[in-house]
Amino acid sequence: MGDLITMDDLTNEEIIQILDAANTLLPIARGEAYLPLLQGKVLGNLFFENSTRTRMSFETAMKRLGGEVLNLSTIGSSVAKGETLYDTMQMVDGYSDIAVIRHPRQGAAQYSADAVNIPILNAGDGAGNHPTQTMLDLFTIREAHGSLEGLNVMMVGDLRYGRTTHSLSHALVRFGAKLTLVSPKSLKMPIEIVSDLKSHGAEINETEEMISSISSADVIYMTRIQKERFPDEDEYNKVADVYKLDASDLVEAKNEMIIMHPLPRVNELHPNVDSTEHAKYFQQAFNGVPTRMALLCRGLGIEVPKKVK
Amino acid sequence: MSEMRRVTAICNGTAIDHIPSGHALQVLKMLRLNVGRSNPISMVMNVPSGKMGRKDVLKIEDRELNQEELDRLALIAPKASVAIIRNYGVAEKRTIELGSELINIVKCSFSNCITQNNREPLPHKLKVISSEPMEVRCSYCGRNQNVDEMVDYII
C-alpha cells in the first residue's frame, strides 16, 4: 500500500499532494516547530550501501516528527555472514513499522516489498531507481519555478548508472518536460528507459555536448560519474572528467535557471558555481527532510494537517 | 504425405506442431525434456509448412504435457499447436497462452539483479510488456530481457 519503489507507484496528483504536505512541514523540518505525527512509530533504516544525505535526512525526518529510528548497516550485522535479503527483511518486518532500503543490487527494493508486510521506501537499488530523491528534486524544482509543468531540463553525466536521473526523468516527462540528456556514449540513458519516456510522448534530445544547451535550460541536473559502478578503472578514467560546469559557462543562462546535483560531487561542478544565483544543490539536500517527512507519513497512512502553527 | 507423418504416429502422448523452424531443440530444453532418461521423443526439423514456410514438429510418447508446461512454450513457439494423443487419436487440443507474468520459468539475465543470489527464496518473476514484438522485463530490477537468449536462463 504505502510502498514507494519506482515513480510509477505515484500518480501526478499524489506527487503534488506529497509536495504540498512537504511544504506544510517545512517549519518542522527546520526545527522551528515540533509536531509528533509519528510518535510511537519505528523506522528501519537499512543501508547496504554508503549514504550520507539519504540516511541522515530520513533519520532527521523521522525524529523531527517524534518517531524512532533503527539503523542497520552491513558492517557488524548478519548480512556480512551471508544472510539473504529475504531473511533480513523478515527481522525488519518484526522490528519496525516502515523501512527505507538502499542496496547495491537492482530490484532489491521491490524484492523487499514482496518479502514483507510493512511499507518499503526505495532509497536506491543499484543503478535502478531512487524515487525519494526524485520527490525532493521535484520539490526543489517547484520551489524555484513555481510549477513542474513544461520545463526544459538538462541531465548531465552518468545517465547509465545514475539512478537519480532514471527516476527523475520518468517523473518529469509526466509533467510535460522536454529533456536534454547529456552523456558520453558509454554512459547513455538505458534504452528501456528512453523508450518508456518516448512512449509518454516526451521530447528527448540525446547529446554528448553540454555547453550549447545551457542557454535554453530551466534546470541543469548534474550528476557524478560513479566510479564504484565501473567494472574497471581504465574505463572510468576515460570518462571521469568529461563534463565540468564552471561559473563562466553560465553567462548565457536564463536568470531563473537552477543547477541541481544529488551530491556528492567530484569535479563536475566547480565550487565557483556555489555562489551564483543558480546553485540550488545545498537547498536541494535540505529539501530531503520535509519531502521524506511527507513520504514517511504517506507510507504510514498518517495525514499531514493542512496548516502547521 | 502429411509432414506430421515423417515419423511414426504415436499411441499415447503429446504432439507439438508448428514450432518455428529450427527451434525444436529449444522447445525440448524449455520443457526440460533434454536431460536425463526421458520418454521416447521424435523430432522433425525444417519441413515445409503451408502456414509457416518451414516448421519443426515434436512428438513425445507416453507423456501428456500439462498447461503450465505448455505455457512455457509461449516464449519461443507462441503459435505452436498442441494435441494430446490417446490411442492414436487426437483426444484434446490445447492452446498456448502467454500470461502477463512468467513466474519461476526463466531467470532474469542481468548480473546485478537481486535474484542472482540463488539463495534468495522468492520466485523469479518476469513481466510481459508486449507479445508482438516480444518484450519481457524483470519484475524486480526492471531490465528488459534478450528474448533470443532467454532459453539459456530457463529454471
pLDDT of B108 > 90? The answer is: yes
Report yes or no: A182 and A213 within 8 Å, Cβ to Cβ: yes
Give me the amino acid identity at B15: A
Q: How confident is the model at residue A250 (pLDDT cuts 50, 70, 90)?
A: very high
pLDDT digits (tens, 9 = 90+) for B77-95: 888 999 999 999 999 999 8
For the beta carbon of residue A148, count every other beta carbon within 10 angstroms.
20
What backbone phi and psi angles, to 5 degrees, belong to B74?
-55, -25
Question: For A85-104, what is the mean pLDDT?
Answer: 96
Spell out the alpha helix ranges (H) of A175-231: 191-199
Mean pLDDT computed over B108-133: 93
Domain regions of chain A by residue span: 7-129+287-300, 131-285
pLDDT computed for residue A109 by the predictor: 98
* pLDDT > 70: percent of chain B: 96
> Is A298 one of the annotated active-site residues of the chain?
no
Asked whether residue B36 carries a pLDDT value surpassing 80, the answer given is no
CA A183-A133-A80 angle, to 5 degrees, is 95
Q: What is the DSSP string of B75-141?
A: GT-TT-EEEEEETTEEEEEE-----SEEESSB----TTBGGGSTT--SPPEEEEEEETTEEEEETTT
pLDDT at A21 over 60: yes
Interface residue of B134, B135, B140 to substitute, partner A, most A CBs within 10 Å:
B140
Write the DSSP string, A216-254. G-SEEEE----GGG-SSHHHHHHHTTS--B-GGGGTTS-
Sheet strand arrangement including B89-94: B41-49, B53-61, B13-20, B81-86, B89-94
**Interface check A2 vs B, CB under 8 A:** no
Q: Are A98 and A62 in contact (CB under 8 A)?
A: no
A273: pLDDT strictly greater than 90: yes
Domain A7-129+287-300 has CATH 3.30.930.10: no
Q: Residue A106 and residue B119: Cβ atoms within 8 Å? A: no
Check pLDDT > 80 for residue A10: yes
Catalytic annotation present for A254: no
Please provide the average confidence, as pLDDT, over all residues in chain A: 94
CA gap A238, A33 in Å, rounded: 49
- Residue A76 — very low, low, confident or very high, per pLDDT cuts 50/70/90? low
Mean pLDDT of A298-303: 97
User: Cell digits for B91?
Assistant: 483426444
How confident is the model at residue A149, as a pLDDT? 95
Query: For the residues A280-306, what does the mean pLDDT come to?
Result: 97
Q: Which of A55, A102, A166, A174 is catalytic?
A: A102
Report the pLDDT averaged over residues A26-49. Answer: 96
A229/A124 Cα distance (integer angstroms): 13
Contact A129 B117 (CB under 8 A): no
What nine digits make up the cell of A126?
543499484
Do A106 and B112 make contact, defined as CB atoms within 8 angstroms?
yes
Residue A73's pLDDT is 77
* Residue carrying C-alpha cell 518455428: B20
CB contact under 8 A, B108 and A107: yes
Distance (Å) from the alpha carbon of B115 to chain A's nearest alpha carbon: 8
Say yes or no to pLDDT of B1 above 50.
no
Q: How far apart are CA B58 and CA B49, in angstroms?
A: 14
- Average pLDDT of B67-73? 84
Q: Order the strands of the B125-131 sheet from edge to edge.
A: B101-103, B125-131, B134-138
Nearest CA in chain A to B118: A84
* Inter-chain CB pairs, A–B, below 8 Å: 61
A130 is catalytic: yes
Q: Which residues contact A216 (CB under 8 A, 6 or more apart)?
A: A152, A254
Looking at residue A37, its pLDDT comes to: 97
User: Alpha-carbon distance A89 to B67, whole Å?
Assistant: 34
Cβ-Cβ contacts under 8 Å, A129 against chain B: 142
**Interval A124-153: pLDDT, tens:** 999 899 999 999 999 999 999 999 999 999
Q: pLDDT per residue over A40-68, tens digit each?
A: 999 999 999 888 899 999 999 999 999 99
A261 given a catalytic annotation: no
Q: What is the CATH number of domain B101-153?
A: 2.30.30.20
CA-nearest of A95, A100, A93 to A118 is A93
A7-129+287-300 and A131-285 share one fold: yes
Could you please state the CATH topology (level 3) that the domain comprising A131-285 is classified under: Rossmann fold (3.40.50)
Judging contacts by C-beta atoms under 8 Å, the chain B residues touching residue A85 are 114, 117, 120
Q: What's the pLDDT band for A211 if we cut at 50, 70, 90?
A: very high
Residue contact B110–A84, C-beta within 8 A: no
Domain residue spans in chain B? 3-95, 101-153
Using pLDDT thresholds of 50, 70 and 90, give the confidence band for residue B70. confident
- Report the predicted TM-score, pTM, of the whole model to 2 decimal places: 0.88
Strand B101-103 versus strand B134-138 pairing type: unpaired
Name which of A14-18, A65-69, B65-69 the model is least confident about.
B65-69
Q: So what's the ipTM on this one?
A: 0.88
Q: Which residues of B touch A103 (CB under 8 A)?
A: 114
Q: How far apart, in whole angstroms, are the C-alpha atoms of residue A4 and residue B14?
A: 46
Q: What is the mean pLDDT of residues B50-66?
A: 92
CATH topology of domain B3-95: Alpha-Beta Plaits (3.30.70)
Contacts of B24 (CB under 8 A, 6+ apart): B43, B44, B45, B56, B57, B58
Q: In whole angstroms, how far apart are CA B152 and each of B26, B104, B105?
A: 9, 14, 11
pLDDT of residue B78: 84
% chain A with pLDDT above 70: 98
Mutant choice from A7, A48, A106 vs B, greatest count of B C-beta within 10 A: A106
Residue B5 clears pLDDT 70, i.e. is over it = no
Say what the pLDDT of residue B51 is.
Answer: 85
Least confident range from A266-280, A292-306, B21-35: namely B21-35
The pLDDT confidence band at residue A75, using thresholds 50, 70 and 90, is low
Query: Which amino acid, A24?
Result: T
